């Protein structure tokens, strides 16, 4: 059996076309364009690619974008000053501080300084708390992209066992928070695995839906997957042979029922959800 490929790039195209209609409507009614300001520190090549993709997607959707660059030796104070300026700027609706930040910067202080109404990454403690309580303001971009892919491709979530490998603040933890909520697009039974988990394969083999976000190329092998499972690969690893996910795609696609490719899986959906949040932020500030 060969798995059905879950084409995130195609779905992102559909969603961005829908979004462009909503953006045009917003501009007509309000006379302003939703605007995303990205803050990029240093010259990390992966971050450069992410930020470029975000700018291009904004343009396609008819939204404004700004890029604020700071040098690699930027201080916490200089970032805080920039974030405060963007918080006060009425023309900016969403602020994204691209991660990772260099080690001398206190990342938590910087992320906490983003105004909760402009926090399109949904990293601010107020927005995280709202998600946990089931009354979100913004949905976290990558987890929402994963959920959207499942929903739009008619993968049932309610009552299914979702096993998440990785407990990051960007993917693992917020995804668990989304899928455990009550409601027709959630209601899952969720297990979060991490580096201290005993007998990881025994847990991943129980997954109806397996989501992997640990940043280790081809870590998940065919033996770790239940036949017919839905496998979502959030990994983006640079290897000598090129970009690779956290899942051994060639082997796992022979076992899984559905699988996302890398690239072209979750990545384009993350960007799309960020744009949806920027429009939502603009509506909240109007
Ligand atoms: N770096 C990798 N993923 C992300 C993300 O979702 N948001 C931000 N701000 N930085 C990232």
Count of beta carbons in the 10 Å neighbourhood of residue 42: 17
Range of the domain at 62: 31-115
The pLDDT of residue 146 is 98
- Ligand 1 atom having least distance to the Cα of 140: 6
Question: pLDDT at position 63, please?
Answer: 98
CA 84 to chain centre: 24
98 is catalytic: yes
pTM: 0.97
Residue 1 confidence (pLDDT): 73
**Chain segment 190-208, per-residue pLDDT in tens:** 999 999 999 999 999 999 9
Same domain, 86 and 152: no
Any domain includes 208: yes
Which CATH number belongs to the domain containing residue 98 in this structure? 3.40.50.10860
Q: Which atom of ligand 1 is nearest to the CA of 170?
A: 6
pLDDT score recorded for residue 190: 98
Give residue 244's pLDDT.
97
Distance of CA 20 to the CA centre of its chain: 20
Note if 253 is an active site residue: no
Q: Is residue 126 in a domain?
A: no
CA of 18 to the centre of ligand 1 (A): 23
Residues 150 and 229 in one domain: yes
| Residue 127: count of CB within 10 angstroms of its CB | 23
User: Is 136 domain-assigned?
Assistant: no
Say which CATH number the domain at 195 has.
3.40.50.720
Name residues contacting ligand 1 (CB within 6 A).
96-99, 121, 141-142, 170, 270
C-alpha 99 – ligand 1 centre gap (Å): 5
In terms of Cβ atoms closer than 10 Å to its own Cβ (0-12, 13-18, 19+), residue 267 is: buried
What token pair was written down for 280? 């939502």
Rounded Cα gap, residues 257 and 1, in angstroms: 8
Looking at residue 194, its pLDDT comes to 98
The catalytically annotated residue of 16, 118, 119, 121 is 121
pLDDT at 153: 98
Q: Is 104 a catalytic residue?
A: no
In angstroms, what is the span from residue 121 Cα to ligand 1's centroid?
8
Query: What is the tens place of the pLDDT at every residue in 146-203?
Result: 999 999 999 999 999 999 999 999 999 999 999 999 999 999 999 999 999 999 999 9
Residues of the chain with pLDDT under 70: none
- Check if the beta carbon of residue 98 is closer than 8 Å to that of residue 86: no
């Amino acid at each position: 059996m060969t798995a059905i490929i879950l084409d995130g790039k195609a779905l992102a195209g559909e969603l961005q076309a829908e979004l462009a209609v909503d953006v045009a409507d917003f501009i007509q009614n309000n006379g302003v364009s939703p605007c995303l300001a990205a803050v990029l520190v240093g010259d990390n090549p992966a971050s450069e690619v992410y930020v470029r993709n975000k700018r291009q997607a904004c343009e396609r959707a008819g939204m404004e974008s700004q890029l604020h660059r700071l040098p690699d030796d930027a201080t916490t104070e200089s970032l805080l000053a920039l974030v405060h300026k963007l918080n006060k700027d009425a023309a900016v609706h969403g602020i994204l501080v691209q991660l990772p930040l260099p080690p001398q910067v206190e990342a938590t202080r910087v992320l906490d300084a983003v105004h909760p109404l402009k926090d399109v990454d949904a990293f601010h403690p107020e927005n995280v708390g709202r998600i946990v309580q089931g009354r979100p303001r913004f949905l976290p971009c990558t987890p929402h992209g994963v959920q959207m892919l499942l929903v739009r491709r008619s993968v049932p979530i309610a009552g299914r066992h979702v096993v998440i490998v990785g407990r990051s603040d960007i993917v693992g933890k917020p995804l668990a928070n989304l899928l455990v909520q009550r409601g027709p697009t959630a209601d899952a039974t969720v297990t979060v695995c991490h580096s201290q988990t005993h007998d990881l394969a025994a847990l991943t083999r129980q997954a109806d839906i397996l989501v992997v976000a640990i940043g280790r190329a081809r870590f998940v092998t065919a033996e770790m997957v239940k036949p017919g499972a839905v496998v979502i690969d959030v990994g983006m690893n640079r290897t000598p042979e090129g970009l690779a996910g956290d899942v051994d795609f060639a082997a796992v696609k022979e076992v899984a029922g559905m699988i996302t490719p890398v690239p072209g899986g979750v990545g384009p959906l993350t960007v799309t959800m960020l744009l949806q949040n920027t429009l939502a932020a603009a509506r909240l500030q109007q």
